């Protein structure tokens, strides 16, 4: 099981979970494409990995923009020698109750999580099928791919939807040796979650400490946050798994918050 010299594109890899996946993949011998809306941060992350730019590059990409996704993935593939692994990870969070949810924010959430996953998958599958050396597609789901929480309607809807996309890609990709799986993390203390703590405290009328203890970590077996490394090690396992035996699955990494 190895990802040595495989080319991996990770979306949203300028920060948080995606950045750690890019780092762990790089340390395990992969060539890395850091695709992010924030080009400056993506460039900094890529040059932290490989200042020469030979084995880690940054690509400016809004995953909801068809032209940017197609052009960015084509350019990255021609620089690094194709694409073997896609980690569709870029995401945001917007919280509000359903009865007051702004339609524009609903559409923005579905676009980033679902259109982004579809567009990057389509561009990478075309390359993977043509290269005839298989591939691995990993979607960043969430415990919210399996469970609901108040205030998170579009996030829960989109994260559930990724499981459907994954299962379809697993069926279509099998003939080409392309596997697809979903990782479903519990709460990880990235900028995405730091932003939510005061927002949820305000919406629910409780303290920030209560949000952490009684909302985010209440159902875990040990009151602990999941870490970026927990998620990156799971991604490494999925990316390096050698056969179609492990495809169409969703793996929950959440300190027991959700048990299948
Ligand atoms: P983060 O905010 O640290 O990083 C997200 C990255 O995505 C940022 O670099 C941002 O610039 C980029 N991004 C945002 N919109 C984009 C777009 N349209 N196109 C390209 N890039 C874009 O967040 P994170 O916590 O690392 O989240 C990464 C993924 O993990 C998300 O899909 C999130 O839903 C999922 N997730 C996070 C947690 C958690 O607790 N942090 C738990 C489960 C799942």
Ligand 1 pocket test: which of 42, 92, 156, 162 has the largest number of ligand atoms within 8 Å of its C-beta? 92
Q: Identify whether 137 is part of a domain.
A: yes
Atom of ligand 1 nearest to the CA of 41: 9
Q: Are residues 152 and 247 in the same domain?
A: yes
Quick one: 138 and 35 in the same domain? yes
Total structural domains within the chain: 2
> How far is the C-alpha of 256 from the C-alpha of 241, rounded, in Å?
24
Domain assignment present for 44? yes
- Regarding whether 178 and 86 lie in a shared domain, the answer is yes
- Are both 167 and 215 inside the same structural domain? no
User: Would you say residue 159 lies in a domain?
Assistant: yes
pLDDT band at 201 (very low <50, low <70, confident <90, very high): very high
Asked if 34 and 139 sit in the same domain, the reply is yes
Q: Ligand 1 centre and the CA of 216: distance in Å?
A: 17
- Whether 204 and 97 share a structural domain: no
Range of the domain at 218: 189-225
Q: What pLDDT, in 10s, does the model give residues 87-111? A: 999 999 999 999 999 999 999 999 9
- Could you tell me if residue 140 is inside a domain? yes
d(CA 245, CA 260): 19
In a domain? residue 260: no
List pLDDT tens digits, range 1-33. Answer: 799 999 999 999 999 999 999 999 999 999 999
Active site residue 129: no
Task: Give the other-Cβ count within 10 Å of 196's Cβ.
Answer: 20
In the predicted model, what is the mean pLDDT of residues 64-84? 98
Task: Answer yes or no: do 231 and 208 share one domain.
Answer: no
Same domain, 99 and 219: no
Q: Which two tokens stand for residue 177?
A: 């040796």
- Is residue 114 scored above 90 in pLDDT? yes
Q: Would the pLDDT of 55 be above 90?
A: yes
* pTM (2 d.p.): 0.98
Of the candidates 180, 161, 160, the residue with the CA atom closest to the CA atom of residue 170: 180
CA atoms within 13 A on the CB side of 67: 0
The CA-CA-CA angle for residues 2, 184, 123, to 5°, reads 60
Residue to probe by mutation, ligand 1, list 71, 89, 91, 116, most atoms within 8 Å of CB: 91
DSSP state of 83: -
Closest CA to 212 of 188, 233, 234, 228: 188
Which one, of 160, 244, 227, 218, lies nearest residue 193 by Cα?
227
Is the same domain home to 242 and 157?
yes
The atom of ligand 1 lying closest to the CA of 62 is: 19
The reply to whether 43 falls in a domain is yes
Measured in Å, residue 175 CA sits from the centre of ligand 1 at 31
Instruction: Tell how far the Cα of 4 is from the centroid of ligand 1, in angstroms.
Output: 26
| One domain for residues 116 and 32 | yes
Is the separation of the CB atoms in 252 and 258 below 8 Å? yes
- Minimum mean pLDDT among 116-125, 196-205, 218-227: which range? 196-205
One domain, residues 133 and 220? no
Q: Ligand 1 mean position to 165 CA, how many Å?
A: 19
27-52 per-position pLDDT tens digit: 999 999 999 999 999 999 999 999 99
Mutate to test the pocket of ligand 1, among 68, 192, 231 (most ligand atoms within 8 A of CB): 192
Percent of the chain topping pLDDT 90: 98
Please say whether the beta carbons of 140 and 17 come within 8 A.
yes
pLDDT for 103: 98
Pocket of ligand 1 (CB under 6 A): 11-12, 14-18, 36-38, 61-64, 89-92, 112, 140, 142, 185, 187-188, 190-193
- Looking at residue 1, its pLDDT comes to 78
Give CA–CA dist 81/216, Å, rounded. Answer: 41
Q: Read off the pLDDT band of 260 (50, 70, 90).
A: confident
Q: Output the CA angle 92-33-117, nearest 5 degrees.
A: 40
pLDDT reported for residue 159: 98
Q: Which atom of ligand 1 is nearest to the CA of 143?
A: 43
Per residue, the 3-state secondary structure of 155-181, as one string, reads HHHHHHHHHHHHHHHHHHHHHHCEEEE
Instruction: Quickly list H helices, the chain.
Output: 16-27, 39-49, 66-80, 103-110, 116-131, 153-173, 191-204, 208-210, 228-240
Catalytic pick among 25, 26, 155, 187: 155
């Amino acid at each position: 099981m190895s990802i040595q010299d495989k080319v991996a594109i990770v979306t949203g890899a300028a920060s948080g979970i995606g950045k750690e996946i890019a780092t762990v993949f790089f340390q395990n011998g992969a060539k890395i494409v850091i695709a992010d809306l924030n080009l400056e941060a993506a460039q900094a992350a890529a040059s932290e990995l490989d200042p020469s730019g030979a084995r880690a590059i940054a690509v400016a990409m809004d995953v909801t923009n068809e032209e940017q996704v197609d052009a960015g993935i084509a350019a990255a593939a021609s620089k690094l020698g194709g694409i073997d692994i896609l980690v569709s990870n870029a995401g945001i969070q917007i919280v509000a109750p359903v009865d007051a949810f702004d339609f524009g924010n609903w559409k923005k959430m579905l676009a980033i999580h679902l259109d982004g996953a579809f567009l990057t998958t389509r561009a990478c599958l075309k390359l993977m099928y043509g290269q005839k050396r298989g591939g691995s597609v990993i979607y960043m789901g969430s415990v919210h791919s399996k469970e609901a929480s108040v205030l998170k309607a579009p996030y829960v809807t989109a994260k559930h939807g990724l499981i459907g996309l994954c299962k379809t890609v697993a069926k279509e990709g099998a003939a080409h040796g392309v596997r697809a799986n979903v990782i479903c993390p519990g709460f990880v203390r990235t900028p995405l979650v730091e932003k939510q703590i005061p927002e949820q405290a305000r919406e629910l009328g409780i303290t920030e400490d209560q949000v952490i203890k009684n909302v985010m970590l209440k159902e875990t077996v040990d009151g602990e946050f999941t870490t970026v490394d927990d998620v990156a090690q799971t991604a490494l396992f999925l990316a390096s798994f050698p056969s179609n035996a492990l495809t169409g699955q969703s793996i929950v990494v959440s300190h027991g918050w959700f048990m299948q």
